[in-house]
Every structure is written in structure tokens, then in C-alpha cells.
């Protein structure tokens, strides 16, 4: 008696074969390596790997069809990032890949793309300082999330000697709140024009315990503080996951990180109008990046705004 022919229908083994096939290419493995903690558009990846856009699109399609990549549309652009592992082989592949050193030239090319993103952000704030408040009001202003942020801040177990660092204070509107609650406050902003607005506010309000510094918060060494605050800043960073890892050492053990951010949105005009590099963030992404930076996820508050944007106010604790 002859055995029945194997079914030609889609089988779970097909998925495994697609995964093996997609991973069976050194360039595609390097793409996955580059996407460990970042997401890139096809043009950026073509630049990083010095190949044509259509060649890169093909590789990305193979990786996405095998379930190794996920895509995120940001306005007209599509960003690629690693998909969360759906099985043991997928998880083992990423684990093994992350143990390999990233070649120097790949690191340098990734840094160049980050540099281009950061430069676009710096240029925006140099141009827009005179119109800053109006730009902020287009999306989300401090008045809309101040109370929520303060309710999280005031629930933290902080002593009277506690110190704070605000990254990207902009025109310094939140500095008076920090100055009232902390013994010493420092604020780092890499835009001279924005820092000047913050300086004027500190002078107007007589904030004697606030120290302002013109610096890129991701490059400037700073002694650790008890609370680091970023309001609407992370979406201006070239590599937000990496930024959280760089900021983590600035927090004392037992200290806190407070982040106010937009939730993921699709309003691409924010790139042009407000210089946003990222159209908000998924709540899970922030949590994952914080955990990878050695922080524990704390309380979160979510606010819907009338203009359709959603804000997330997040607390992360340094164990
Ligand atoms: C959208 S504004 C937010 C200002 C303020 N936190 C608020 O909520 O109104 C972003 C600020 O972050 C600053 N910034 C962006 N990248 C930075 C970096 N790498 N280091 C320090 N400041 C940065 C910009 O200059 C700008 O002042």
C-alpha cells in the first residue's frame, strides 16, 4: 500500500525554512545585528551597508516575510526593526548574533547616520527658538501634562538633599517646579538659543539652585543625580534606545527617570513643523529600552489630547 503524499498546504515547517533561508546570508545577519536596538529606514540601511536601495529592499522583504523584521510606518517613511522572537530558533539566533562583535566599519556607518539625524534636530532648534512656545503648542505643551508629571514626581520617595537633572529643558518652563523640589538642579541643552531662553527664565524667576549647561546630554559626562527628567526630548534623539542606556549611569542607584513622551502617532507633519525625529513611541518599546538600560518600569500615566495626540508620562526606577 502506498503512503499518502505529504500535504502541500502551508506547514509550520515552511515558516522554519523561511527563517533559516532569511538568516542564511551574511549581509542579512549584519542587518539584524545593526537593528539590535534601533530602527532604520531603507535609505539609511542602504547607506550603512553601502548597497543600492533596491538591493536593500529585497533583503528587508525576505527578513520581514520570515518574521525576523517588523515594520513601522512613520508618515511616508517605513522603519524596520527586529520582530520579537516567535520561537526558540529565532530567539537563539538573535542571542548568538548579539554575542558577535559589531565590526568597526559598521559601527562607524551607524554613527554617521545617527550624526545626520542629530544634526537635523540641532538645526531645527537653532532656527525655531524664537517661535518655540507656538511650536510646542501645536502638539503638546507643558500645561497639558504638568499636573500628571508632578503627581508622579511628588509620589517619589526623595529626600530634601535630592538632586535632579533635566535633559533638554527647552525654554526652561519645568525648571521652577524642579527648583522647588530639589536641592540642586542641573539642566543640559545642546541648543544655545534654547538655553538662552532657559537662562532668561531662571533669572526672571530667581532660580538660584539651577545650573544650566550648553552640552549634548549624550556626550557630556555628568555626575549622577537622584532624578533625571526628559520632557518631549526622547523623540529628538537619533537613537532613543541607546540614549536610555547612556542616561542610565547618570541616575544614582535608588534614583529615578521620568520621561514624558508622545505615544506612537501617524502625524508626519510633526517632523517638519516640530523637528521630531520619531513620531512618538510604543509604550512597550520605552519599557523594553528602560529594562535593557538596567531600569525597572514604574508607574505610567496616559493622557489623550483634543488634537488626537496621546501623551505617556513614565516613571522608571534605578534599582
Ligand atoms: C521639544 S524640546 C522640549 C523642551 C522642554 N523639555 C519642553 O517640554 O518644553 C526638546 C529640547 O531638547 C533639546 N535637545 C535635543 N537633543 C538634545 C541633546 N542631545 N542634548 C541636550 N539637549 C537636547 C533641544 O535643544 C530642545 O531644547
Closest to 315 in 3D by CA, of 285, 286, 272, 274:
286
Calpha distance 21→15 (Å, rounded): 10
> Ligand 1 mean position to 232 CA, how many Å?
7
> Ligand 1 mean position to 201 CA, how many Å?
16
Task: Note the pLDDT tens digit of each residue in 228-280.
Answer: 999 999 999 999 999 999 999 999 999 999 999 999 988 888 887 888 889 89
Using the atom order of ligand 1, give the atom closest to the CA of residue 243: 19
Task: Give start-end residues of each CATH 3.40.50.150 domain in the chain.
Answer: 130-317
Copy the grid coordinates of residue 262.
Answer: 508622545
Calpha distance 186→210 (Å, rounded): 6
Band (pLDDT 50/70/90 cuts) for residue 8 is low
Contact (CB, 8 A) for 272 and 74: no
Calpha distance 76→67 (Å, rounded): 23
3-state secondary structure of 228: strand
Please tell me the predicted confidence (pLDDT) of residue 105. Answer: 93
Which segments of 215-309 does DSSP mark as H helices, in order?
A: 240-247, 269-274, 283-292
**Ligand 1 contacts CB of residue 232 (under 6 A):** yes
Task: Give start-end residues of each CATH 1.10.10.10 domain in the chain.
Answer: 12-102
Q: Which CATH code, of 1.10.260.40, 1.10.10.10, 1.20.1090.10, 3.30.390.50, is assigned to 12-102?
A: 1.10.10.10
Contacts of 28 (CB under 8 A, 6+ apart): 22, 59, 62, 63
Closest to 233 in 3D by CA, of 170, 175, 173:
170
Band (pLDDT 50/70/90 cuts) for residue 111 is very high
Angle (CA) 41 46 52, round 5°:
130
Domain 130-317, what fold? Rossmann fold (3.40.50)
Calpha distance 54→76 (Å, rounded): 17
Mean pLDDT of 28-52: 94
- DSSP type of residue 219: T
Mean pLDDT of 293-305: 93
The residue whose grid cell reads 509604550 is 283
Contact (CB, 8 A) for 257 and 315: yes
Mean pLDDT of 273-294: 92
**Ligand 1 contacts CB of residue 175 (under 6 A):** no
**Ligand 1 contacts CB of residue 194 (under 6 A):** yes
Which whole-number Å values give the CA distances from 213 to 25, 207, 216, 310, in the listed order?
47, 15, 9, 31
Task: Note the pLDDT tens digit of each residue in 49-96.
Answer: 999 999 999 999 999 999 999 998 877 778 999 998 989 999 999 999
Mean pLDDT of the chain: 92
pTM of the entire predicted model = 0.84
> Ligand 1 mean position to 61 CA, how many Å?
35
**Ligand 1 contacts CB of residue 37 (under 6 A):** no
Mean pLDDT of 170-179: 97
Q: Which of 167, 178, 233 most suits a substitution to test ligand 1, by most atoms within 8 Å of the C-beta?
A: 233
Which whole-number Å values give the CA distances from 114 to 93, 108, 130, 154, 212, in the listed order?
26, 10, 26, 35, 25
> Ligand 1 mean position to 189 CA, how many Å?
6
Calpha distance 296→289 (Å, rounded): 10
Copy the grid coordinates of residue 169.
Answer: 529643558
pLDDT exceeds cutoff 90 at 283 = yes
Q: Which of 189, 247, 271 most suits a substitution to test ligand 1, by most atoms within 8 Å of the C-beta?
A: 189
> Of all residues in the chain, what percent carry a pLDDT higher than 70?
97
Using the atom order of ligand 1, give the atom closest to the CA of residue 173: 9
Band (pLDDT 50/70/90 cuts) for residue 181 is very high
Copy the grid coordinates of residue 100.
Answer: 558577535
- Secondary structure E strands in the chain: 40-41, 69-74, 77-82, 163-167, 184-189, 210-214, 225-231, 251-262, 296-304, 310-317
Closest to 170 in 3D by CA, of 144, 151, 189:
189
Please tell me the predicted confidence (pLDDT) of residue 128. Answer: 80
Please tell me the predicted confidence (pLDDT) of residue 1. Answer: 59
> Ligand 1 mean position to 166 CA, how many Å?
9
Which whole-number Å values give the CA distances from 30 to 59, 60, 128, 295, in the listed order?
11, 12, 38, 28
**Ligand 1 contacts CB of residue 135 (under 6 A):** no
Using the atom order of ligand 1, give the atom closest to the CA of residue 191: 25
Q: 142 — phi, psi (to 5°)?
A: -55, -40
**Ligand 1 contacts CB of residue 168 (under 6 A):** yes
Using the atom order of ligand 1, give the atom closest to the CA of residue 218: 19
> Ligand 1 mean position to 28 CA, how many Å?
35
Please tell me the predicted confidence (pLDDT) of residue 129. Answer: 82
Cβ neighbours, 10 Å, residue 268: 15
Amino acid at each position: 500500500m502506498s503512503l499518502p503524499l505529504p500535504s502541500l498546504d502551508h506547514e509550520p515547517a515552511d515558516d522554519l525554512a523561511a527563517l533559516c533561508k532569511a538568516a542564511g546570508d551574511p549581509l542579512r545577519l549584519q542587518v539584524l545585528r545593526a537593528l539590535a536596538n534601533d530602527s532604520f529606514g531603507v535609505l539609511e540601511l542602504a547607506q550603512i551597508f553601502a548597497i543600492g536601495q533596491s538591493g536593500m529592499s529585497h533583503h528587508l522583504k525576505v527578513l520581514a516575510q520570515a518574521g525576523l523584521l517588523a515594520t513601522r510606518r512613520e508618515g511616508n517613511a517605513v522603519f524596520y526593526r527586529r520582530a520579537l522572537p516567535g520561537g526558540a530558533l529565532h530567539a537563539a539566533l538573535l542571542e548568538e548574533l548579539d554575542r558577535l562583535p559589531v565590526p568597526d566599519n559598521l559601527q562607524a556607518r551607524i554613527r554617521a547616520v545617527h550624526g545626520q539625524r542629530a544634526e537635523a534636530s540641532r538645526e531645527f532648534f537653532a532656527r525655531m527658538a524664537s517661535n518655540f512656545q507656538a511650536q510646542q503648542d501645536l502638539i503638546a505643551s507643558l500645561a497639558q501634562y504638568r499636573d500628571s508629571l508632578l503627581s508622579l514626581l511628588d509620589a517619589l520617595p526623595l529626600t530634601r538633599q535630592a538632586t535632579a537633572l533635566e535633559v533638554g529643558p527647552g525654554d526652561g518652563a519645568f525648571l521652577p517646579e524642579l527648583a522647588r523640589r530639589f536641592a540642586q538642579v542641573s539642566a543640559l541643552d545642546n541648543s544655545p538659543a534654547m538655553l538662552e531662553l532657559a537662562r532668561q527664565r531662571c533669572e526672571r524667576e530667581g532660580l538660584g539652585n539651577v545650573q544650566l549647561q550648553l552640552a549634548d546630554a549624550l556626550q557630556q559626562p555628568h555626575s549622577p543625580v537622584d532624578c533625571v527628567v526628559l520632557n518631549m526630548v526622547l523623540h529628538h534623539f537619533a537613537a532613543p534606545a541607546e540614549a536610555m542606556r547612556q542616561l542610565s549611569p547618570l541616575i544614582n542607584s535608588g534614583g529615578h527617570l521620568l520621561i514624558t513622551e508622545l505615544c506612537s502617532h501617524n502625524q508626519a507633519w510633526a517632523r517638519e513643523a516640530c523637528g521630531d525625529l520619531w513620531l512618538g513611541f510604543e509604550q512597550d518599546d520605552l519599557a523594553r529600552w528602560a529594562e535593557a538600560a538596567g531600569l525597572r518600569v514604574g508607574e505610567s500615566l496616559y493622557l489623550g489630547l483634543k488634537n488626537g495626540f496621546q501623551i505617556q508620562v513614565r516613571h522608571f526606577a534605578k534599582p
